[in-house]
Structure 1
Amino acid sequence: MDREARHVGNAVDRTHTQAGAAGRVPAADRPDDIRNVVLVGHSGAGKTTLVEALALATGAVNRAGHVADGGTVSDHDEIEHRQQRSVQLSLVPVEWGGIKINLLDTPGYADFVGELRAGLRAADAALFVVSAADGVDGATRMVWDECAAVGMPRAMVVTHLESARADFEQMTAVCGQTLGGDSPESVLPLYLPLHGEQAPDGHAPVTGLIGLLSQRVYDYSSGQRVERDPGPEHLPLMEEARNRLIEGIIAESEDETLMERYLGGEELDLKTLVGDLERAVARGSFHPVLAAAPAADGCKQGIGTVELLELITGGFPTPTEREVPPVTTPQGKPRAPLACDPDGPLAAEVVKTASDPYVGRISLVRLFSGTLRPDETVHVSGHGLQDRGHEDHDVDERIGALSSPFGKQQRSVTRCIAGDLACVAKLGRAETGDTLSAKDDPLLMAPWVMPDPLLPVAIEAHSKADEDKMSQGLSRLVAEDPTMRLEQNPDTRQVVLWCLGEAHVDVALERLRSRYGVQVDAVPHKVSLRETFGERATARGRHVKQSGGHGQYAICEIEVEPLPVGSGIEFVDKVVGGSVPRQFIPSVEKGVRAQAARGVALGYQVVDIRVTLTDGKAHSVDSSDAAFQTAGALALREAAADARIHLLEPVAELGVLVSDEYVGSVMSDLSGRRGRVLGTEPAGPGRTLVRAEVPEIEIGRYAVDLRSLSHGTGRYSRLYARHEPMPAQLAVKLREQAAAQK
């Protein structure tokens, strides 16, 4: 719909307070009546508190945190200011002025960036919540850059203005410098906080806002939102900020005459300015800054909530103004681009998967095209994350009820149209990232980028009863979280969960215990080492047993010599004279290779050797395939007992993406991990890619250490390069540890 036709010109400063009816499920009949907004910010910035304030202002709750018809806004493990850890994407739908607003509250912890990425996928605009006391951290800047890369509209809300260290003007300037990039004038405030009387500690509480465009004061000090003219003391403060704002709006305007008229002294029409502002916000080129503070005593609306709701409904884009992600057939054949049309082909995406002990699996989906109704059959197309334990899907499933989430409650809805979000029950096969489409017109949506889990934790069942349930519990766990990878390591025989950080690990193990009744113990993670011979050795394998009846008789003599790295295992037959019958030579090789797989020193696979069978003996009756397999294995063990055995460790190739100011610290840290820095290269403004080769045994906790070293701005990828000899002193230490455990 045309932006002017929606008559949003008064949205920024008007005093409209219409809200949805208390306890009613917000609904929309057209995509143009929907706004999908994701809240982004570091932990403790106040995202969840702001969501609750917006729900209170719209009438969705009747007092802070309580749904108008019972329940709470946020689940028990999602309330940051009560539990100090928000770990899941949560959806709170509210209604304002006939517009349904889907508020997507994301975790502020870096360990749960997968939930953040899901929120970004489901939203059409982002609201960055910045604490006036803490400022903008590196992780927030990275998310800002991600949004900028795809042109997502962004606005900022400064919270914690009640803090003694709060300075709204300074924080706005910081946001312009750190987030505005080359255009700091694109990050400007729409309102200024109005402060009350100064307290004994020197801090003055926020009692209202000053609208820069409307030149009106919105006073909350009486417990009601009262609009009045500014006093003489406000005019000097308003003038400079208002002029900067108008110039910033004009710079983004499509009307090239505005600047000339403004410089000529003409008073520009408010409706024209606000219309240009909203268009600039919707296309992602202008980023307004607003202020939010707790409500005054007896006031239903928190300071800044009304203004924020009006910006969301008026300035943020509708789903029809955002491009639908590309789609193909499940076989990869391109399809024509889709539009956000309720009458179009069905195309939805699962952005979150959760398990309910009574309902079962619940999928939160974003409808990009078409209309979804309860109890219909849909096609589920997979996402291609087999390497993380998520199998591809290409099946038809009958969905259950549709509902709109609100805290612990699920309110039934009759349909979900394009542009909206809803929860779908009984999708037994669908996982996060999967596409839902019509069964007679299956589609596959291009997936969003998921961070690679790089922190391993090895787990073991706590008891036999837990062991029986562990496999099913783990499969359900990884189905909910595509940022988690499950590995059954064949070399170390460990079950390994790969996560994003320590908090991610803690939450995963707690969910296994509380949701699926599986108690597991975290054990030291083993790196897949290799063994090889450091010198030539000879040995004799003798397997002779006679205990009445058919016996076992096999003798073989072998010679073992080391080969270059990467050669594997070679088996050579140099038997002459038939001392080992031809039919048993493959048996000797099979026994040697089986023993090499089990290891000869510390239980790691033996590689890079040549084993030559030189001689042996057989018995016409008692020799057998099994006997010569055993003799071959014994011979390799005997050879190892008289030779130097070297340990080989895996080496990974790392690509570390980090801010320029941390490059020196990162390179020094990599060198301390026995790494070899291969070089550096620019990776965008203010970013450098450091390439290095580092032994994997040294980077088990690198995901955590890099985050600390780079203040949350660093990321890295790893790729197996090769195995190479481990330093002698480390090999001796490992042997001593193994001996102590035995």
Structure 2
Amino acid sequence: MKEDIAKVRTFAIISHGGAGKTSLAEAMIFDAGATTRLGKVDENSSVLDFEPEEVKRKTTISSSIYSFTWKKQPFTLIDTPGDFNFISETKTSMQGGDSVVVLADAVDGVRVQTEKVWEFATEFGQPKLIFISKMDRERADFAKTVQDIQNNFGKACVPLQIPIGAAESFKGVIDILSGKAYVYGQGDSGKFDVKDMPADMVESAGRYREAVVEQVAESNDELLEKYLESGELSPEEIRGALRDAVISGKLIPVACGSGVGNMGIQPLLDLIAECLPSPLDRGPVQGLSIKGDAELTREPDEGAPFSSLVIKTVSDPYAGRLSILRIFSGTLAPDSTVFNAGKGAKERFGQLLRLKGKNQESIQSAGPGDIVAVAKLKETVTQDTLCTERDPIVFPSVELPPAIYSLAVEPKTKGDEEKIFSSLSRLMEEDLTLKLDRNDETREMILSGMGEIHIEAIVDKLKRKFGVEVNLKLPRVSYKETIKAKARVQHKYKKQSGGRGQYGDCTIEMEPLPRGEGFHFYDKIVGGVIPRQYIPAVEKGIAEALHEGTLAGYPVVDFKVDLVDGSYHTVDSSEMAFKIAGSMAFKKAMSDAKPTLLEPIMEMEITVPDDAMGDVIGDLNSRRGRVLGMETKGYKQIVKAQVPRSEVLKYAPDLRSMTAGRGMFTMKFSHYEEVPGPLQDKIIELAKKEKEEK
């Protein structure tokens, strides 16, 4: 029924790492009576951060979902990771929410990662509510944090609640529209008394109320006209327009409190119920036909065709794959068959599960706004659409940043290579930013992710879930070799050892090409000096030889070869002889054509706070980087640069250290450039040494 769907609130809790998201979520479910004990991250009693890797690091690595009831309304919260290392988990799970609660730390304010997840919410069209956390911490500053929020996210962010005191003297919050004060007792029971507003706070509350009224008025033409005429709006008019203003994004409420101290949580839950959208408010969800040639929509209606998006996958070697779905339309029951629209596959499942952190409960039906789990789907992974075969639809998948940190991985036990590959493949079903590739040039298996902590957590999971232990090391850089001059070389391969001999003679002209052109071979033989059947053998000999250059054994690129002359023997010539002749001619020509080393250059975009800018620029210069441009965004600086790959193999942990975890970056391959002379000598010497040791 629409009346029931209108009560549903499904929201993600987002922010930077360490802002207190999990503590807030634990307080919400405790105050709602869903748990009998307030879970604490520091005491390892959280029902949301329960994976051993999370307990070890005391931080959220996997998004956790908890469905509960607040004042007879169905609520589902999604507790997301705040660390950029786990950005895939955050962004894909955020798609399960109709709105977001954004945390801003009362001590540290808005951080880079907060801005990034804010952008995700904007991308998804999700209304926002801001909660200023840690009001009971030393140096907590509400006014300064509000200013920081408005500088970063605009004047539409206005407090609907203000704190009574701060740090050790923090004891509650004031609802500035009703004037009620929620005053909390000692401890973290969440018990409070509703009192009149303290007299010394009436003036400041009035100023904040005026800002709310102005913002509400600006969201509605009729109210704006009345406000301009009378300078005031009634409480009923404000409350009536507040919800529409929040859902349209014209007003972003700001609340405050403490998750760890369990203060200000019940007023926040009331605000979520009052202001944030239901699936009905969100309206139809957009998708595409299977062929992608038509736009489709799904109404948040139980009577509509079933449709859902897989927002998370959990792989277990014993229990199998658990798929977590956000339902957008229709209903779902246990023992059903669904259709994976993207893969064209039918999937059948048994139990239908509601998630309560680390626990699950079996349910008999689910509908729009619900997040549920089903087990052992064979084809389905995160970002897949599940629907009915009769009415298929494909919901768009999100764009995720490319991996920025790579390590070479090898088994501790010989012969476990295949086990590593199969186990990591299972973990890649959970984590879309995790990549495993075989580098044929360096003969290494490369594990790539979003940072050092990401890779460490994956290695821990490998051991715990699959019993696979690995060694990690920095990967070798994929250098290339090329030439800078022209060369003409003849090579005659002649061998006589009794019986039929070997004879192949070719003359080649070698010449450099622009970057990225690769290898080109041209047949310029005239007069049949080399028979047609032997010419491909010359090209093949060169193509095989270019995999190992004469400088340091790296692949040779960006050159062309003209086959211009040669000779043959009617008896002794063969394809093999001309292949060898081509290979030897190539090696001689390369030595004569001023060979040089090329290195991969990465394109980087680094976002850092103002106060770290000098250190970051100086560090980039020390890494032979070229700064291409800088852009100011609030209190943050965005630096665009190009840096050699060899200089940024450990940039993820280095930037974290430089900025105290407040910086983030993206990185992708740009192009190859010549290595400076003195460095070439070192690389060549190291390559020779490695070759001798083999």
TM-score normalised by length of structure 2: 0.87
Q: 2:158 aligns with which of 172, 184, 187?
A: 187
Residue identity in the other structure for 1:727: P
Give the Cα–Cα distance (whole angstroms) in 2 for the partners of residues 172 and 79 of structure 1: 34
Residue 103 of structure 1: CA displacement? 0.9
Of 234, 256, 259, 2:227 maps to 259
Shift of 1:469: 1.2
Match for residue 32 of structure 2 among 34, 46, 58: 58
Confirm whether residue 473 of structure 1 aligns to residue 441 of structure 2.
Answer: no
Alignment partner of 1:341: what SS?
coil
Change (3 A) 1:81 1:246: farther
Match of residue 390 from structure 1: none
Q: For 1:266-316, what per-residue CA distance to the aligned partner results, in whole angstroms no more than 9, with x for missing partners?
A: xx65444333333333333223332323688xxxxx322211221122221
1:275 partner amino acid: G
| Distance in structure 2 (CA, Å) of the matches to 1:740 and 1:80 | 42
1:636 to 564, 569, 586: 586
Letter of the 1:286 counterpart: L
Which of the residues 258, 270, 274 maps onto 1:293? 258
Please identify, of 362-371 and 274-283, the stretch whose mean Cα deviation from structure 2 is larger. 274-283
Q: What is the CA-CA distance between 1:421 and the residue it aligns to?
A: 0.7
> 2:632 and 2:148 mapped to 1: Cα distance?
24
1:706 and 1:323 map into 2 onto residues whose CA distance is 42
**Aligned mate of 1:726, from 661, 675, 678:** 675
1:116 to 90, 104, 115: 90
1:470 to partner: Cα distance: 2.2
% identity of equivalent residues? 31
* 2:85 is equivalent to residue 106 of structure 1: no
Letter in 2 for 1:215: G
Alignment partner, residue 215 of structure 1: 179
Q: Which residue type is aligned with residue 442 of structure 1?
A: P
Report Cα offsets for 1:120-151 as digits up to 9, x if no partner. Answer: 22111211223323222122133334434655
Q: 1:334 to 1:713 in 2, by over 3 A?
A: farther
What SS does structure 1 have at the residue aligned with 2:81? coil
| 2:300–2:368 contact (8 Å) kept in structure 1 | yes
Deviations 1:329-378 (A, max 9, x none): 12112133222112212221111111123321111111112222333222
Q: What secondary structure is seen at the aligned counterpart in 2 of 1:417?
A: coil
**Structure 1 CA distance, aligned partners of 2:193 and 2:59?**
38
The answer for the alignment partner of 2:281 in structure 1 is 321
Query: In the alignment, what sits opposite 1:615?
Result: 566
Matching residue's letter, 1:458: A
Q: Aligned to 1:345, what secondary structure does the other structure show?
A: coil
2:381 equivalent to 1:431:
yes
Pick the aligned partner of 1:239 from 203, 206, 210: 203
Q: Deviations over 1:428-459 (max 9, x none)?
A: 22121111121233221122232222323232
User: 1: CA distance between counterparts of 2:437 and 2:141?
Assistant: 49
Structure 2: which amino acid aligns with 1:412?
S
Match of 2:410 among 444, 460, 467: 460
1:370 aligns with 2:330: yes
Deviation at 1:403, TM superposition (A): 0.8
Match of 2:10 in 1: 36
1:205: Cα distance to partner?
4.0
Gaps of 5+ in 2: none
Residue 467 (structure 1) shift: 0.8
Give the superposition deviation at 1:192: 2.5
Contact 1:39–1:47 (CA under 8 A) maintained in structure 2: yes
Q: Structure 1's 358 and 406: CA in aligned 2 closer, same or farther, altered over 3 A?
A: farther
Match of 1:489 in 2: 439
2:47 corresponds to which residue? 73
Alpha-carbon distance in structure 1 between the residues aligned to 2:295 and 2:591: 64
User: Which of 347, 351, 361 is matched with 2:321 structurally?
Assistant: 361
Give the letter for the 1:736 counterpart: E
> How far did residue 85 of structure 1 move?
2.4
- 2:23 and 2:259 in contact (8 A); partners too: no
Q: Secondary structure at the match of 2:338?
A: strand
Could you tell me which of 512, 515, 518 is aligned with 1:563?
512
CA contact (8 A) 1:324 1:338 kept: yes
> Is the aligned partner of 1:540 residue 2:506?
no
From 110, 114, 119, the equivalent of 1:136 is 110
CA contact (8 A) 2:137 2:168 kept: no
Shift of 1:484: 2.5
Q: Deviations over 1:61-117 (max 9, x none)?
A: 111239xxxx96124338968732211111111111121111111111111122221
Q: Write the letter of the residue equivalent to 1:277.
A: L
Tell me which residue corresponds to 1:19: none
Residues 1:328 and 1:210: Cα distance change in structure 2 (over 3 Å): closer
Where 2:465 maps in the other structure, the secondary structure is helix
Change (3 A) 1:665 1:86: same
Aligned match of 1:737: 686
Q: Equivalent residue of 2:87, what SS?
A: helix
Asked if 1:83 is matched to 2:57, the reply is yes
Q: Are the counterparts in 2 of residues 48 and 80 from structure 1 also a CA contact under 8 Å?
A: no
| More deviation, 94-103/211-220 | 211-220
CA distance in 2 between counterparts of 1:625 and 1:224 reads 85
* Map 1:493-504 → 2, pairs under 5 A: 493-504=443-454
Q: What is the CA–CA distance in structure 1 between the aligned matches of 2:73 and 2:53, rounded to whole Å? A: 26
Deviations 1:529-584 (A, max 9, x none): 222345526353536375x8x76623434445332334543445566887755433
Q: 1:592: which partner in 2?
A: 542
AA matched with 2:253 = P
Structure-2 change in CA distance of 1:690 and 1:131 (3 Å): closer
* 8 Å contact from structure 1 (residues 679, 690) kept in 2: yes
| Compared CA separation, residues 270 and 641, structure 1 to 2 (3 A) | closer
Sort the Cα spacing of 1:78 and 1:153 in 2 relative to 1 into closer, same or farther, 3 A: farther
Q: SS of the residue aligned with 1:646?
A: strand
Is the Cα–Cα contact under 8 Å of residues 607 and 638 in structure 2 kept in the other structure?
Answer: yes
TM superposition shift of 1:624: 3.7
The two structures, once aligned, show a CA RMSD in angstroms of 3.5
Would the alpha carbon gap of residues 653 and 250 (structure 1) be closer, same or farther in structure 2, given more than 3 Å must change?
closer
> Which of 509, 515, 536 is the aligned partner of 2:465?
515
Letter aligned with residue 344 of structure 2 = D
Residue 291 of structure 1 aligns with an amino acid whose one-letter code is C
1:422 counterpart = 2:362: no
Q: Distance between the aligned counterparts of 1:542 and 1:412, measured in 2?
A: 77
- State the secondary structure of the residue aligned to 2:391: coil
Deviation of 1:328 (Å): 1.0
After superposition, give the CA deviation of every residue in 1:570-602 in whole Å (9 maximum; x if it has no partner): 445566887755433322221221111343443
User: Quick check: 1:381–1:442 contact (8 Å CA) kept in 2?
Assistant: yes
Cα displacement (A) at 1:691: 5.6
The amino acid that maps onto 1:463 is: T
Of 79, 89, 99, 1:125 maps to: 99
Deviations 1:500-545 (Å, cap 9, x if unpaired)? 2221222222223322333332233233322234552635353637
**1:230 corresponds to which residue?**
196
SS in 2 for 1:584: helix
CA separation in 2, counterparts of 1:367 and 1:439? 16
Which residue of the other structure, out of 167, 171, 174, is the alignment partner of 2:141? 167
Please say if residues 330 and 381 of structure 1, whose CA atoms lie closer than 8 Å, have aligned partners that are also in contact. yes
1:440 partnered with 2:390: yes
| Aligned-residue offset at 1:397 | 2.1
Provide closer, same or farther for how the CA distance between residues 178 and 657 of structure 1 changes in structure 2, counting only shifts above 3 A.
closer
Distance 1:707 1:258, change over 3 A: farther
- Mapped to 2, the partners of 1:153 and 1:576 lie a distance apart of 73
Question: Normalized against structure 1, the TM-score is what?
Answer: 0.81
Please give the alpha-carbon distance, in whole angstroms, between the structure 2 residues aligned to 1:446 and 1:683.
Answer: 31
